[in-house]
Amino acid sequence: MTPDHPRDRIVNAAMDLFWRHGYGATSLSQIREAAGVQGGSLYHFFKSKEQLLEAVLDAYLEQMEAVLIQPIVERHDDPIERIFALLDGYRQLLAGAGTALGCPIGDLALESGAEPAAVGEKIAANFAAWRGWVRRWLEEAGARLPGDLDRDGLATLVLTVMEGGVMQARAHHSLVPFDASVAQLRDYINRLLAEAPPARRRTRMRRAQPRRG
């Protein structure tokens, strides 16, 4: 509970180091040192390195809404813009880290190909939560998008752009591939919006109907 509770310090240090160096390349000693705890204390909270990884993945999932989603929702009303704001938030993360780093979850997904079920499930849960928000926003866009659009599929593509974009950004040490991917996605979605019937009715219904009753 306390902001500097050892357990939290450990998880935070692990989040940072796993992100920067990867799971396998981060030693528990490094985490211990970064967290400022000593000796075998780490094993009072996590009975193995893998359990610490699970805690890190839990933390990502818990923090997601507060840290990533909420600020976007507050700043943007248009659900479509929220999606691109999410991608842009990612871009800023990359820009800040000098493209040396990638997606924290994606990197862990890579390393845990053969990891036991628990870790794999938590990674999938993180991805699923992410995609869930995007899909929700796509659904909120209502009739502005074609009726037969596979909204879950498009949400998947958004996440794909994120992950594939960051991977190439890292490979080229440049944000250009990330930006290009997002630009193409924007073009695609613009075309979907353009094709949809003039969005008057649906939008009105959502905002005007209540007023009528």
Site residues (CB under 7 A) for DNA?
6, 26-30, 37-45, 47-50
**Token pair of 184 as six digits:** 């193409």
Q: Which stretch binds a second copy (CB under 8 A): 47-55, 79-87, 178-186, 203-211?
A: 178-186
Number of residues binding to a second copy, judged by CB under 8 A: 50
Residues in Cβ contact with 151 at an 8 Å cutoff, skipping those fewer than 6 apart: 135, 138, 139, 145
Give yes or no for residue 153 binding a second copy (CB under 8 A). Answer: yes
What phi and psi, each to the nearest 5 degrees, are found at residue 36?
A: 75, 25
Interface with a second copy, residue 150, by CB under 8 A: yes
Residue 168 sits in the site that holds a second copy (CB under 8 A) = yes
8 A C-beta contact, residue 145 and residue 197: no
Answer yes or no: are the C-beta atoms of 123 and 105 closer than 8 Å.
Answer: yes
Q: Residue 48 touches which of DNA, a second copy, none (CB < 5 to 8 A by kind)?
A: DNA
Does 113 engage in binding with a second copy (CB under 8 A)? yes
Q: Count CB neighbours of 146 within 10 A.
A: 14
Judged by CB under 8 A, the stretch of 30-38, 75-83, 109-117, 201-209 that binds a second copy is: 109-117
Distance CA 71, CA 12 (A): 21
- Distance between CA atoms of residues 34 and 13, nearest Å: 6
- Binding residues for a second copy, rule: CB under 8 A, are 21-22, 24-25, 100-102, 105-107, 109-111, 113-114, 120, 123-124, 127-128, 150, 152-154, 156-157, 159-165, 167-168, 170-173, 177, 180-181, 183-185, 187-188, 191-192, 195
